[in-house]
Amino acid sequence: MAVFSRVEKHRPFSALLQSRSTLNGLDRTIRAFYAHLLVAAGYETNPHECVRKACPFESGHIVISRARDRVSFPARFQLVAAMNPCPCGYMGEPSGRCRCTPEQVQRYRNKLSGPLLDRIDLHLTVARESTALNPAKQTGNDTASASALVADARDRQQQRQGCANAFLDLTGLRRHCELSKVDEGWLETACERLTLSLRAAHRLLKVARTLADLEQVESIMRHHLAEALQYRPATLG
């Protein structure tokens, strides 16, 4: 929470933190999020469901209706959200500190509706940071090289279709995210087994297209689809 409280004070970051705001005044709040990064920490039901209903992620605009007027405002933003894995926050730790029952965990996670989770493309589990004072150097790309890869991938998308993959409509999705017949059947089977909605399948294709762009390859391959599937929310076992 402390990290989010520091980040939200600096543009392009904005925060939605444990707010009880409803549609009253939400138009001003959403307009402030336009073209910004919306940080939502400590998920609660009301404000985040309010954002989902008032500002559909797909449309990128909010419609405010009053007694005699109906006004549309631009409200496209990138959402980064965080929540604990369970009520106590220690689920999955090797120390075994978590004493939450499966019923308590499920009740906690059910605060977020399926339609809201369906609209979040990347779901990642982040392990507790090590307390080592001199941690070993991590392998992989540093910030500068990762940033360069992302910038190059965005340039490829702009040159290919004139927009980022996230903004592809259905026609653009069919044109630029075409799969082989074998991979198309594989993906359909996977979506059926995981009970993914058609919206989730479309968003998954956009993620796979982005993974292919990051690898600088023209076609979406099976391993891109498999990785994109891993970013869908896991069910509680």
Where would I find the H helices in the chain? Answer: 2-7, 26-33, 45-54, 102-109, 114-118, 143-161, 170-176, 181-193, 198-214, 222-230
* In contact, 122 and 207? CB cutoff 8 Å: yes
Indicate if the pLDDT at residue 236 is higher than 50. Answer: no
Please report, rounded to a whole number, the percentage of residues in the chain having pLDDT higher than 90: 41
H/E element, 61:
strand 61-65
Over 90: is that where the pLDDT of 229 sits? yes
Confidence bin at 14 (pLDDT 50/70/90):
low
Q: What is the pLDDT of residues 17-39, one digit of tens each?
A: 444 444 445 555 555 555 555 55
What pTM does this model have? Answer: 0.75
Q: What is the pLDDT, as a whole number, of residue 226?
A: 96
Phi, psi values for residue 61, rounded to 5°: -145, 160
**pLDDT value for 52:** 55
Is residue 181 pLDDT above 60, yes or no? yes
* Residues whose CB is less than 8 angstroms from the CB of residue 176 and which lie 6 or more positions away in sequence, other chains included: 160, 161, 165, 168, 209
Predicted local confidence at residue 183, as pLDDT:
96
Residue-wise over 72-96: b if at least 16 C-beta within 10 A, else e? eeebbbebbbebebbbeebbeeeee
Given a contact cutoff of 8 angstroms between Cβ atoms, the answer to whether 76 and 57 are in contact is: no
* CB-neighbour burial class of residue 129 (10 A; exposed 0-12, middle 13-18, buried 19+): exposed
pLDDT of residue 41: 55
Could you tell me what percent of the chain has a pLDDT over 70?
74
Q: What is the pLDDT of residue 18?
A: 42
- Residues 125-140 have a mean pLDDT of 79
Q: What average pLDDT does the segment 119-135 reach?
A: 83
pLDDT digits (tens, 9 = 90+) for 59-106: 777 777 777 788 887 777 788 888 888 999 888 888 888 999 999 999
Name the phi and psi angles at 123, rounded to 5.
-115, 120
Nearest CA among 211, 206, 214, 210 for reference residue 149: 214
Computed over every residue of the chain, the mean pLDDT equals: 79
pLDDT of residue 3: 41
Angle, CA 102 vertex, CA 104 and CA 127 arms, to 5°: 95
What single string gives the DSSP state of each residue in 129-156?
Answer: PP--SSPPPPPS--HHHHHHHHHHHHHH
Q: Can you tell me which residue has the tokens 């279709």?
A: 161
38 SS3 class: strand
Q: CB of 48 within 8 A of CB of 26?
A: no
One-letter amino acid for residue 63 of the chain: V
pLDDT at 37: 55
- Residue 73 CA neighbour count, 13 Å, CB half: 18
Where are the chain's structural domains? 2-118, 143-230
